[in-house]
Amino acid sequence: AAFDDEPEMEFVDDTPELRRRWMDYGYCRWGEALESADGFHFSPEQGASSHVAAHFAARNSRRIEAVRDATRPDDVVITVSHFVPRLELLPEKRFLVDPHLPKVSGSELIEAQLRALGSRLHVFGHTHLAMDFDIDGVRYVNWPLGSDRERQNQTRVVAGAGALLLYDSEKGFAPTQWTFWSHFYRKFDRDPASNKIAPWVTKAYKALGLTHSRQLHKEDDLDKLPNFPGGMQADAFYRSNASKERHFRSTQDGDDLRP
């Protein structure tokens, strides 16, 4: 939970009932030594303390020292984690149907360790939200295939373009890939204090019968939403995007073949 230091949203109560959709709380057990530690908590009622993240970071420490000792100045260091190393790699809560996501997504300890290794590119996952973004000299990439439903929209930039070859010893790094959220945050700064929620969040909450106090409705705010370059429609953009930098992607499939 310490990873998420941005304000809570007013449009939904972050209740234990809603948190139970995160199966980790029900299925994960961490052993008596960790669970009996002072201040440990991991439940829908209390959320997650930092103990689990610290435990796995400690297990990484000796490996990090070994890699640092073996790394030469001209080596290319690429690091990988399942969880998110920086909060900036998640959309703000006003864009999320489930604003509890940042609390179960990452740890700043991952960021500290990848920096200690001198990483040039960090690959992460967990969120099912595609991202290709540079922050303070490190490139961060999340390239999720997603579920069948997610591939129709949320992860279509991946599903319609194919697996990504991030680094080739002869060609170097793949060009930065367009993603919905990295494109948006290159244009606009984060505004975590805003309570103007996105239209798709409004739609989802209405469908679920849940209430909220604010919604994004002013015409002058509509340009501050993620959109496709040049005002392109989704199908046209994805077809065009899938054919770019094909030598860094898997064989032609998906949106390359759409009529």
pLDDT one-digit tens code per residue, 152-200: 989 999 988 889 999 988 889 999 999 999 999 999 999 998 878 888 8
Mean pLDDT computed over 86-114: 93
State yes or no: pLDDT of 241 exceeds 50. Answer: yes
- Residue in the structure block whose two tokens are 């390239």: 143
Once rounded to an integer, what is the mean pLDDT over residues 92-115? 92
pLDDT over threshold 60, residue 213: no
Task: Give the separation between CA 113 and CA 128, rounded to whole angstroms.
Answer: 23
Confidence bin at 219 (pLDDT 50/70/90): very low
pLDDT at 221: 57
What residues pair up with 78 in beta bridges, in sequence order? 121
Polymer length of the chain: 259
Task: State pLDDT tens for residues 28-77.
Answer: 999 999 999 999 999 999 889 999 999 999 999 989 999 999 999 899 99
Whole-number pLDDT of residue 251? 67
**pLDDT in the model for residue 12:** 67
Residue 22 — very low, low, confident or very high, per pLDDT cuts 50/70/90?
confident
**Strand spans (E) along 15-101:** 42-43, 47-48, 78-80
pLDDT at 89 > cutoff 70: yes
Give pLDDT tens digits for 118-150.
999 999 999 999 999 999 999 999 999 999 999
In terms of pTM, does the model score above 0.75? yes
Q: What is the DSSP letter of 164?
A: B
Average pLDDT over every residue of 208-234: 68
Calculate the average pLDDT of the chain. Answer: 87
**14 neighbors 95 (Cβ within 8 angstroms):** no
